[in-house]
Amino acid sequence: MKILIVSGFLGSGKTTSVVKIGKYLKDRGYTIAVLVNDVADVGVDGQVISENGLDSKEMPRGCICCTLKYALEGNIALIQAESDPDILIIEPTGVAFPDRIKEQIEKMDFGPEVTMGPIISLIDGSKFRHIIEHSEYAATKQMENADIIVVNKKDLMEKEEISAVKNVIRDINVDAEIFSISFKEKDLALIQFMNAVESWLGMEVQVSLSLEEIGSDCPDNMCAANDDHFDHFNVSSYADTYHIEHTIDTDTAINAATSIMKDLKNMVLALNPKFLGHLKMFLHTESVALRISVTSYLDNPEVEVIDTDISDHGEFTVFAAVTDVQRDDLAHIIKRSVMGNSSHLGISI
Ligand SMILES: Nc1nc2c(ncn2[C@@H]2O[C@H](COP(=O)(O)OP(=O)(O)OP(=O)(O)O)[C@@H](O)[C@H]2O)c(=O)[nH]1
Ligand SMILES: [Mg+2]
């Protein structure tokens, strides 16, 4: 089993790329599992990944780069015992430092069959300036030790901007392979990126069998101070799940979900007009699975309709992880935005 880490700040496109990478490698004949870590109590991305036909396991409530490191070891061991895929893709939270996760894994004793693949680090190129302005140290740290860096959302950038961003990244990490990609489009860069990932996966970098203890608590106060507040990006997070009582059609689902996310965004804007992060929602009814995202104060809700074979469980999850807003405020406004639209959905709480 080879382990591939796909990291990057909140909303940079990790889940979107994990689905693409996973499907690509699956088509190439590899068996794949995905381990996805969300900061809040209820995860969203595991559902999105499963709906896209990949085996996924979710680790909510914390960050695997620190507070959940023992759970990370347990989950990798479980995946190895249960399905032992050729490739395990790990999607950490948007506030994790991927080199720390790699370090933790290298200290775990899984035997010679478990080897490390590359660290891939994504950055939303269209918000590069904003992210660096807000959290230069942490954003830099996410890219410093990556093997492959992706300037994502190229479709939202001007050509000159792409080269300028790549130049800044080159100064941060002289060794990494750097790609500019849109995971929303089929372009040559995407094929080149997939080839690079596959060639990295062909390399045997054995996980050390050192008997060294798994490192004690985070040095330099770099990891999460607790489960939902991350000092280095100053991000708080909250998520809640609601049950839909009635059957609703696709249009109603899209309208209601978009309206909830618009209201939520406006309420976050009132608390922090320049917020960065990710507001996301996953809604599954009898007829449709929807994913809705807002990744900063600059965006409008983006709705993605996912073809689904999985039967209805009539639930939806609303998740918010944003900079410079209190967790209690997030909890409050998530509830308000859902309740304000509850007549469309027949929601029970
Ligand atoms: N325009 C554009 N949007 C993209 C691209 N890649 C991802 N997105 C969108 O960006 C939003 C966030 O994508 P995700 O894949 O959920 O990001 P993430 O990094 O997994 O988010 P978290 O797990 O919450 O940190 C979604 O609305 C995606 O559709 C891209 O290349 N171009
Ligand atoms: Mg994600």
Please give the residue that has the higher pLDDT: either 34 or 40.
34
> Above 80 in pLDDT, residue 346?
no
State the distance from the centre of ligand 1 to the C-alpha of 219, rounded, in angstroms.
Answer: 31
Over the chain, what is the mean pLDDT?
87
User: How close is the Cα of 218 to the center of ligand 1, in Å?
Assistant: 29
**pLDDT at 210 exceeding the cut of 70:** no
Q: Percent of the chain, pLDDT > 70?
A: 88
Take atom 9 of ligand 1 and give the residue whose Cα is closest: 13
Residue 279 maps to which CATH number?
Answer: 3.30.1220
User: 123-154 as b/e, with b when 16 or more CB fall inside 10 Å?
Assistant: bbbbbbebbbebbeebbebbbbbbbbbbbbbb
Q: Is 212 a residue whose pLDDT tops 60?
A: no
Q: Are residues 272 and 193 in the same domain?
A: no
Which range, 24-38, 243-257, 260-274, is most confident? 260-274
> Residue 333 has what pLDDT?
98
Q: Is the pLDDT of residue 116 over 60?
A: yes
Q: What integer is the mean pLDDT of 325-345?
A: 91
pLDDT tens track for 58-90: 887 777 766 677 788 989 999 999 999 999 999
Kindly tell me if the per-residue pLDDT of 57 is higher than 50.
yes
Distance CA 302, CA 90 (A): 24
C-alpha 113 to ligand 1 mean position (Å): 32
**Which CATH number do you get for residue 92?**
3.40.50.300
**Could you tell me which residues come within 8 angstroms of residue 160 by beta carbon, excluding any fewer than 6 positions away?**
none
Identify whether 226 is part of a domain.
no
Given pLDDT bands bounded at 50, 70 and 90, which one contains residue 207? very low
Q: Whose CA is nearest to atom 1 of ligand 1?
A: 153
Closest CA to 260 of 319, 328, 326, 325: 319
Ligand 1-lining residues (CB < 6 angstroms):
8, 10-16, 45, 94, 152-153, 155-156, 182-184, 278, 280, 293, 295, 302, 304
| 46 or 245, which is more confident | 46
The number of domains in the chain is: 2
Instruction: Report whether pLDDT(176) > 60.
Output: yes
Question: Counting atoms of ligand 1 from 1, which one is nearest the CA of 302?
Answer: 27
CA 274-279-285 angle, 5° bins? 155
Residue 347, token pair as written in the block: 């929601």
Residue 128 belongs to some domain of the structure: yes
Q: Are both 74 and 151 inside the same structural domain? A: yes
Number of Cβ within a 10 Å radius of residue 20: 18
Q: How far is the CA of 239 from the centre of ligand 2 (A)?
A: 14
Same domain, 11 and 77: yes
Using a 10 angstrom Cβ sphere, with 0-12 exposed, 13-18 middle and 19 or more buried, the burial of residue 229 is middle
**Do the Cβ atoms of 322 and 295 come closer than 8 Å?**
no
Q: Could you tell me if residue 105 is inside a domain?
A: yes
Question: Residue 300's domain spans which residues?
Answer: 234-348
CB count within 10 Å of CB 61 equals 18
In the predicted structure, residue 203 carries a pLDDT above the cut 70: no
Mean pLDDT computed over 109-132: 94
Does residue 333 fall inside a structural domain?
A: yes
The model carries a pTM of: 0.90
Domain check: are 294 and 203 in the same one? no
Residue 176 and residue 283 share a domain: no
pLDDT band at 211 (very low <50, low <70, confident <90, very high): very low
Domain boundary among 153, 186, 220: 220
Query: pLDDT for 275-318, tens place per residue?
Result: 999 999 999 877 778 999 999 999 999 999 987 766 666 789 99
* pLDDT over 60 (residue 241): yes
Of 159, 185, 220, which one is at a domain's C-terminal end?
220
**346 or 151, higher pLDDT:** 151
Per-residue pLDDT, averaged over 254-274, amounts to 96
